[in-house]
Structure 1
Amino acid sequence: MSADLQKQIEQAAEWIAASQHLVAFTGAGISTDSGLPDFRGPDGVWTRRDAGLPPPKWGAPPSQIRPNVAHLCLVELEQLGLLKFLISQNVDNLHLSSGFPLERLAELHGNGKLMRCLGCESRFTFEQVGWDRRVWGEGYRAHRPLKGQPRCPVCKGRIISSVVNFGDPLPAKELERSFMHSAESDVFFAIGSSLVVSPANDMPRIAMEAGSKLILLNRGETPFDEVADLRIDAGIGEVLPPVVERVKALLAAQPRA
């Protein structure tokens, strides 16, 4: 590890350890170490599509995709009482399966393992509501409802796949909570996102306008590179574990009240 990267890790850890309202924001880059491709990286889904190439191969079969060390680092920061809210653009379910609490998580683009109610916005697994894809299909919002399909067990409203496809509105409550926590943050840590998808890319700006420090950890350019307080261009799995270890050391060294 270079001396410059060590300094960046130390600075990130100091800000995180001193934070009162840390918010993390994750994109597809956090899941590449689990075997999933990203979208706008050098070999990403959209990068290859725009070059007329076939989609990238997954690094592991779907049944073997598991949370990686970066997901677990965010769980640890939450358990330390530092990470107050996590905003994710991912639909891979890896944050929830890593043990991150649902009440502190906003999945802006939904979750491929969950359905949600259009009425009360409750979320359920496909099994909880008896949704059989072989009978009812994927249940996307744009699909025409089928007679007799399962309904929300809470309010009897229509349930759909929680995945937000192109043209679908983002979940209102998730979006509202994400903007609220962004504005309340004193450290906003964007991880593995190119920060070009609207309206989520407004969140770092809102955080900075409210006085938050912006940390970017991403391979590849973002629109915020020149204004971020700290820009780390390195592997997420290389950076997050030492950041968390340093945070724990700093917390342990603080005088007890």
Structure 2
Amino acid sequence: MQASTSRLRFLVAETEPPDARETRRESVGRSSGETYVEILERLAPGCTCHRITPADADGGLPAGETLAGYDGVFLSGSPLSLYEDTPEVRRSLAFMRALFASETPSLGSCAGLQLATVAAGGTVRRNRNGPEAGFARRIVPTGDGRSHPLLRGRPAAYDAPSIHTDEVESLPDSATLLASNRATVVQAAEIRHDGGTFWGVQYHPEIGLDEVTGALRRQADDLVESGLARSRREVEDQADLVEALHSEPGRRDLAWRLGLDDQVTDEAHRQREIVNFIEALAIPRHNGRR
């Protein structure tokens, strides 16, 4: 970080339903929102970081807090499908609309991008090309993306941890497409709506390789059904390689077998969008509020 982070105030909004939250904890030891909290507390030592669950009926803000009182809000991944009309989806969309109206800058990954898209008037659908599982390959910034601070430091093409079965179908009129790949057109975008600014990515800069491993194993049956593997054993073999690389990120042989480079194996590169958001939007907002 290029500035003091000791007084930054962050909010993590986790829209995982309770059952998915517990399944993920059993798999990798933390929910999607807890992953974000852990990373933010490491990247911004001394920050205040609250976590809420806006998809839950009792998932409101901590007592005495307002959305406008935070320097940045982070929206995690989730198995919610934003094209379904469920109480969880309705509550999540109401939260996102309130977040836009608060003018507090926000960053979202995976379902976070999809949530902001729908709240601002865009649409989401099931992935046309099937699951993008494990890693999103050859993500390429658009012309706008090459000069956008969200992707500062990313090369002309890069891979990133990713596992999703839904995708953005159409961005709202207020959005700017920042990156794409052949599997998923909207890999990164900026959405400006109702006074607020949202930066989002379809991939997961926040998750570690251990969490990629957990996601592969949890979704093994779906990956076989989609044709990405012919058996659970093949998924387990792939997960074993990723897990081994997590334990020894410097092993070039494992990175070679998985077709990965330091954009994934190096934690600092992998989390680049989170750092860029904090430096470009959260710290200036904090300084302007002092």
Compute the TM-score of the two structures, normalised by the length of structure 1.
0.30
Higher relative contact order (CA closer than 8 Å, sequence separation 6+): 1
Higher Rg of the two aligned structures:
1
Whichever structure has more strand as a proportion of its residues is 2
Whichever structure has more helix as a proportion of its residues is 2
